[in-house]
A and B are shown apart, each in its own frame.
Chain A
Amino acid sequence: MTPLFDLDLLLTGTYHDWLVAGLITSLSLTGISLALALPLAIIIALIRLSPVKVLQWSGFAFVEAIRNVPLLAHMLFWYFGAPELLPTALREWLYARNIEATSAIIALTLYTAAYMSEDVRSGIRSIPGQQFEAARALGFSFVASMRLVVLPQALRVTIPPLISQTLNLWKDTSIATVIGVAELMYQAAKVESATFRSFEALAVASACYLGMSLLITGAAGWYQGRFPVRTA
């Protein structure tokens, strides 16, 4: 008779190592995608706020095209669809490497950047227009006024929503399972099918997701306490 709930199996040994490897992969996916998505989000936000109509419109099209399609469809496209459009040599080079993780990172980065750019944009818009006009009147260029005057103030307002997007990104990494990236969800399912201990495998994975989510939520709370939004 095996015990009803036996965590020992997952706290040491092979299955433990599988889960830890999965957790590390999930964290790396989050870290890399975040590092790529943040600058991209700022660029898209600036494009949408630029004085040029064509740029505004293309920024809008990019954001809406990405936000209105589920992440799963993005992943399927970047994994199954996009490589076929590449020249053969490049495709073979990619297939010889970790194409699953690459596709997942592209999908996660674009998806997260689209959402984050909206947060950055509303952060920038919350800064009174006179700040920008004053900077321009003092002789700063468009880019310099943004970089030195508006963005430093806007980012302070934007950090809390950006942290909550990071939480979404963390949870979204689980979808990479679909294209076979060996992240936490994938490893949990693998342990489940190897041991038939569904409850324990899912409980450990859930605890990891939840623990990390709580840390991220805690970071948002800490930031708001430490750097409250200053109102002029």
Chain B
Amino acid sequence: MIELIDTYWLYFLVGQYPHGPLGGLALTLILAVLGLLFAFPLGLVFGIARVSPWRSVRWPVSTLIQVVRGTPLLMVVFWAYFFLPSLTGQNTNQFWTMLTALVVFDAAYLAEIIRAGIQGIGKGQTESARSLGFSYLDAMRLVILPQVVRNMLPSLVNQFVATIKETSLGYIIGLTEVSFIATQTNTQVLTKPAEVYLLLGLTYFILCFGLSRFAFWLERHLQQRTMAKAHA
């Protein structure tokens, strides 16, 4: 096991970089960060649309979200893989294919988190803002959303963990993220498959467990602050 780590740690972390494209754990993290970063504004728009007072906004977005949530991510990846090139008119590489699929998929899930957050704030807030003369969109932007985003920070961290796990599906379209690199390593070593994949699992575990503990801490911390405020 030690020998394995000693020989392949750099390959595992960055792939063939700097002699080739960046890969490995670094690529996994970049993909997850960009995925969540791009999905967030989209999820925000979808989430607001989900609770919109206008039916013509609410229904199409709700349908889209239901469709994405009822489909496996792998299916979304395949759609992106086969149809992005004809849609954009140029050859899309694996990175952009995977990123597009992740953004669409995560946006649908974030939208539900945001919707629940908005509905959890309570009607009174919107009504007071509206009676003070704010337009609907201003009330959303200045009164409701700041509270929603603060409350949803722990969920966002959890969604980041989910996104890290989702990037592993890049393996299927030949994206050189960490699961793919592990399989390459396994093919080269040949005699230690259990060790290689245990190391892969351990890598994900350290990353994701650390983050989900952080989310847990954040949730308790925010709760205590809210409670302290209520008592003050």
Contacts and interface: CB of A to CB of B under 8 A. Distances in A.
A185 B201 contact: no
A209 B196 contact: no
A174 interface: yes
Interface size class of chain A, counting residues whose CB lies under 8 Å from the partner chain = 35 or more
Contact of B169 (A72, A85, A167, A205): A72
A171 B198 contact: no
B72 A77 contact: no
Given A73-B179, A202-B79, A202-B82, A84 B193 contact: yes
Interface in B178-211: 179, 182-183, 186, 193-198, 200-201, 204-205, 207-209
Contacts of A217: 70
B116 to A, nearest CB: 14
Nearest to A213: B70
Interface stretch (A37-45, A61-69, A123-131): A61-69
A142 interface: no
B82 A210 contact: no
Given A70-B179, A85-B194, A202-B79, A209 B165 contact: no
A46 to B, nearest CB: 22
B168 interface: yes
Contacts of A69: 165, 201, 204-205, 208
A210 B182 contact: no
Given A72-B169, A73-B201, A85-B194, A175 B74 contact: yes
B71 A209 contact: yes
Contacts of A174: 72, 74-75
Interface residues of B, number: 38
Nearest to B71: A209
Contact of B204 (A73, A175, A213): A73
B172 interface: yes
A199 B129 CA distance: 48
A9 interface: no
A174 B208 CA distance: 22
A214 interface: yes
Interface string B70-92: 11111100110011000000000
Most buried by B among A68, A76, A171, A210: A68
Contacts of A80: 183, 186, 193, 197
Interface in A113-146: none
B67 interface: yes
Given A76-B179, A81-B193, 20 more contacts: A64-B212, A68-B212, A69-B205, A70-B166, A70-B179, A73-B197, A74-B201, A77-B200, A80-B186, A81-B198, A167-B70, A175-B169, A177-B74, A185-B74, A199-B83, A206-B79, A209-B71, A210-B71, A213-B69, A214-B70
